Chains A and B, each alone.
Chain A
Amino acid sequence: MNGKTRLLITWIIGIIIAIALPHFVGIVYTNVLVTFMMDATFALTINMLLGFTGLLTFGHAMFFGVGGYAAALALTHIPGFPLIGVIFFSAMAALLLGVLVAPLLARVTGTAFAMLTLAFGQLLYVICLKFREITGGEDGIAGYDTPPIHLGFVNIDITDPTNFYYFALVVLGLLTFFMWWLTKTPFGTVMIGVRDNALRVDYLGYRVKHTKAVVLIISGTVAGIVGGVYALFHNLVSTDGVLTIFVSFYPLMAAYIGGVASFFGPILGAAVLHILDELTSRYTERVDLVNGIVFILVVMYAPFGAVGIWWSIKARLFKKAN
């Protein structure tokens, strides 16, 4: 059995487990799984910037939030808005925001990029907080109807947790696959080149700024779709839920704890954070304190995250065999 078939079998088993899981864990944990999948996909979009293009963003919540608000506003104001339209609308809103901010953000790198994204994110947060006749301010938008999926003559009601789980699995799975595919294309190689040596990529004839802008827009659009799924799942979009600085920080922590050096690291990181949540929330209300301490420890002692720890263990175990 060569590596390729083994990989294929691992994937098939993984997908079967993902499909079977909601029937074993009950409603509560099905919902936990949905939030985990959203966090993981959101963390992957951040890792496209941080891990693959070398851009640290502190304001990715703006895309997530805009996607969420777009979905909520469309569902509130347009009667009978279809589900596919919601996803499309979220994507377009985030894409528009990306096109607006990318020209400014693509010019800068490093600390300045981080700071500018932070500033844009905070600006959007404050604007949404103040214009309460549109966004509902702190209370947000709630109580809109979640449309069913139309499949020919069958309607699937996604307010049912298990059905929503499958819906989220398909949408977020497709997004994950899309991002993974993107990193394998020649464009993905240019992204890595921009991270490692932007000057050289420039001399080779590739456009560094354009590449950064495109990555930012794609990553933002995907984050926007995740925001739309969030809006459908929670039936509530508020500034505190989708736009605060912590909405940007959480997936960043997940990406870093999991390991930014590999594509699937952020998923692992999101899993670690969710397991930490489950364990610590039994004893204390301040879950983020534990998350923050873990995050600091990872930054200090394991810069490649959980994946990096696994790699070093593997290297130590199999050193003699090589």
Chain B
Amino acid sequence: MSSVAGMYITQGIHGLVYGMLLFLVSSGLTLIFGMMGILNLAHASFFMLAAYFCYAVLQVTGNFWLALIAAPVVAAFFGVLAERFLLRKVHYMGHVAELLLTLGLSLVILEAVKVFWGTESLIITVPESLQGLISMGQHIQYPIYRLFIIVVACVVLVFMALILFKTRLGKIVRASVTNSEMVGALGINTPIVFMLVFGIGTWLAGVAGVCAAPLLTVFPGMADQMGMDCFVVVVTGGLGSLLGAFIAAFSIGELNAYGVQFVPRLVPVITFSFMVIVLAIKPTGFFGEREA
């Protein structure tokens, strides 16, 4: 195997890692869209918030594993609070008010983060067992930590898929995504389901945030890039569709990875064109039922 092929494969795995992170964040986003009919603009902010919590936990305890468990849970707690005490209050006013509220929320989270942790990039070091490179074949040296991200994401996703497709709760959630009013009419407490999905969605974003923190470093702008890519993923995959988000996340991940290699300046244009082309052929995205 030549070194060029090795480079391509390395980029391919990079794309896989980014796709995994994207899917972790956008799966929550697409489920929330399905239930509430709005794209949560503050979703990527919880991704960032979890990364900062991870930094805080590391400062206090120095234990990365503890941070990996605790930070997403705390982020999810804030997500649930935001849903219960902010979003639910404006639900009756319609989508514009809800969108504006999530916008205000993202602004407040961003500024609050700057108040507590400043504007500089904070560096998170991974534990020693995850440092270093692993050798795969002659020309491929791959960082262990990135492979670890793939493993974590897979475990989380399999777990979520089991809940979503094999339990009664999952059935209710899937039904609410399709038609929440009907589910409510059948006597199921949909506000609680909404809150739960919001919490789980922000928890998934939080897991992605902690995983991404050592790669990207923790800084106030980290929500922007992730938020934009997730938006492209959710719209391309079809709003409310998990399978669509899955396929779109990996497409965007790979496009990003190879785009960075060949035309670094045009990466955002490529992902965006991808979205426009998909929407031009199929206005609902890959598997969406509603038009974007």
B107 and A56 contacting across the interface, CB-CB below 8 Å: no
CA distance A292 to B114 in the complex (A): 14
Given contacts A108-B292, A118-B231, contact A288 B107 (CB under 8 A): yes
Pick the interface stretch among B7-15, B62-70, B198-206, B267-275: B267-275
Contact call A289/B115, Cβ cutoff below 8 A: yes
In the complex, the answer to whether A249 meets B275 with C-beta atoms within 8 Å is no
Digitize B171-205: 1 where CB-to-A-CB distance is under 8 Å, 0 elsewhere. Answer: 00000000000000000000000000000000000
CB distance from B106 to the nearest CB of A (A): 8
Q: Which of B86, B93, B115, B232 contacts A303 (CB 8 A)?
A: B93
Decide: A131 near B265, CB < 8 A? Known: A115-B39, A296-B86. yes
- In angstroms, Cα B86 to Cα A130, docked, is 37
Tell me whether A289 and B111 are in contact (CB under 8 A).
Answer: yes
Say whether A256 faces chain B, with CB atoms less than 8 Å apart.
yes
Cα–Cα, bound, A116→B291 (Å): 13
Give Cα distance in the complex from A111 to B240, angstroms. 14
In Å, the complex CA distance between A263 and B263 comes to 46
- Cβ of A122 and Cβ of B114 under 8 Å apart? no
Q: A56-B99, A119-B275 are in contact. Are A112 and B108 (CB under 8 A)?
A: no
Partner of B269, one of A127, A286, A289: A127
Query: With a CB–CB cut-off of 8 A, which chain B residues contact A127?
Result: 268-269
A291→B112 CA distance, assembly (Å): 12
> Measured between alpha carbons, how far is A291 from B291 in the docked complex, in Å?
34
Please give the number of chain A residues whose Cβ is less than 8 angstroms from any Cβ of chain B in the complex.
36
* In the bound complex, CA of A111 to CA of B114 (Å): 29
Residues of B within 8 A of A253 (CB): 104
A residues 113-157 near B (Cβ < 8 Å) are 114-116, 118-119, 122-123, 126-127, 130-131
Complex contacts, A293 vs chain B, CB 8 Å: 104, 108
Docked complex Cα distance between A286 and B109 (Å) = 12
Chain B CB within 8 A of A205 CB: no
Contact digits for B90-116, partner A, Cβ 8 Å, 1 yes 0 no:
100101110111011101101110110
Whether A295 contacts B104 by the Cβ 8 Å rule is yes
Are the C-beta atoms of B99 and A300 separated by less than 8 Å? no
Q: Are B86 and A300 in contact (CB under 8 A)?
A: yes
A175 within 8 A of partner (CB): no
Contacts of B86 in A (CB 8 A): 296, 300
Task: Decide: B114 and A286 in contact? CB cutoff 8 A.
Answer: yes
19-72 of chain A: CB within 8 A of chain B: 50, 56, 58
Decide yes or no whether B37 CB sits under 8 A from chain A: yes
Asked whether any CB of chain B lies closer than 8 Å to the CB of A186, the reply is no
The 8 Å CB contact of B111, one of A116, A288, A300, is A288
| Chain B residue at minimal CB-CB distance from A112 | B292
Q: Which of B39, B103, B266 has the most CB of A within 10 A?
A: B103
Q: How far is the CA of A56 from the CA of B89 in the complex (A)?
A: 20
The answer on a CB contact under 8 Å between A119 and B272 is yes
Q: Are A291 and B292 in contact (CB under 8 A)?
A: no
Q: How far is the CA of A299 from the CA of B38 in the complex (A)?
A: 16
Q: Which residue of B lies closest to A290 (CB)?
A: B111
Is B289's beta carbon under 8 Å from chain A? no
Contact A292 B104 (CB under 8 A): yes
Which residue from A112, A119, A246, A300 sits with its C-beta under 8 Å from B101? A300
B235 located at the interface, meaning its Cβ lies under 8 Å from any Cβ of chain A in the complex: yes
B107 contacts A249, C-beta separation under 8 Å: yes
Which residue of A is nearest B235, CB measured?
A115
> Is the pair B104, A112 in contact by a Cβ cutoff of 8 Å?
no
Give A118 to B275 CA distance when docked, in angstroms. Answer: 14
Q: Which residues of B contact A50 (CB under 8 A)?
A: 96
> With a CB–CB cut-off of 8 A, which chain B residues contact A79?
none
* Cβ-neighbour of A111 out of B89, B90, B95 (below 8 A): B95
Binding site for A on B (CB under 8 A): 37-39, 86, 89-90, 93, 95-97, 99-101, 103-105, 107-108, 110-112, 114-115, 224, 228, 231-232, 235, 265-266, 268-269, 272, 275, 291-292
Extra A-B contacts (8), CB below 8 Å, given A56-B96, A110-B95, A252-B103:
A111-B37, A115-B235, A122-B228, A131-B265, A256-B100, A289-B111, A296-B104, A303-B93
A-B residue pairs in contact (CB < 8 Å), sample of 8: A56-B100, A110-B95, A115-B231, A245-B224, A246-B107, A286-B114, A286-B115, A295-B100
8 smallest CB-CB distances across A and B, nearest first, come from: A289-B111, A292-B107, A292-B108, A296-B104, A126-B268, A130-B265, A295-B104, A288-B111
